């Protein structure tokens, strides 16, 4: 499962990547981006199966990024420090909404949901 991580906090990107490697070895991280504009370009270029996306970022927030993408075929998991965006996140068909720091068990469950939706 090819994924990318988009989050303006480098430490959060690395923490999520390490947790993915430890708990979800089937998820290959094809790119890590701290700049939402570069993340947007990567979505278009790499065509990931799964995107881990932060919401509050400078220049362009996660929702604005999704508006720029338009129609997408990837699974979406938000990873954010804010719980106040959860309802809006699910309007964007997010598979899950994880609060940082990401709990490994919750990450595993979220990735399992993505895998099930890809099989079905």
User: What pLDDT digit, counting tens, does each position of 89-118 carry?
Assistant: 999 999 999 999 999 999 999 999 999 999
Confidence (pLDDT) at 120: 73
20 pLDDT band, cuts 50/70/90, is very high
Tokens 């509050």 map to which residue? Answer: 56
Give the rounded percent of residues in the chain with a pLDDT score beyond 70.
100
**Exposed / middle / buried, residue 106 (Cβ in 10 Å: 0-12, 13-18, 19+):** middle
pLDDT tops 90 at residue 46:
yes
Is the pTM here over 0.95, yes or no? yes
30 pLDDT band, cuts 50/70/90, is very high
Give the rounded percent of residues in the chain with a pLDDT score beyond 90.
95
**Exposed / middle / buried, residue 99 (Cβ in 10 Å: 0-12, 13-18, 19+):** middle
pLDDT tops 90 at residue 42:
yes
**Exposed / middle / buried, residue 72 (Cβ in 10 Å: 0-12, 13-18, 19+):** middle
């Amino acid at each position: 499962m090819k994924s990318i991580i988009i989050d303006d906090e480098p430490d959060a990107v690395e923490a999520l990547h390490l947790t993915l490697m430890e708990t979800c070895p089937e998820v290959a991280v094809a790119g890590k981006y701290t700049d939402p504009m570069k993340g947007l370009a990567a979505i278009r270029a790499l065509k990931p199966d799964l995107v881990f996306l932060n919401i509050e970022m400078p220049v362009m927030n996660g929702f604005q990024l999704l508006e720029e993408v338009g129609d997408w075929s990837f699974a979406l998991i938000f990873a954010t420090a804010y719980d106040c965006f959860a309802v809006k996140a699910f309007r964007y068909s997010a598979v899950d909404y994880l609060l940082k720091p990401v709990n490994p068990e919750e990450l595993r469950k979220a990735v399992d949901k993505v895998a099930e939706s890809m099989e079905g």
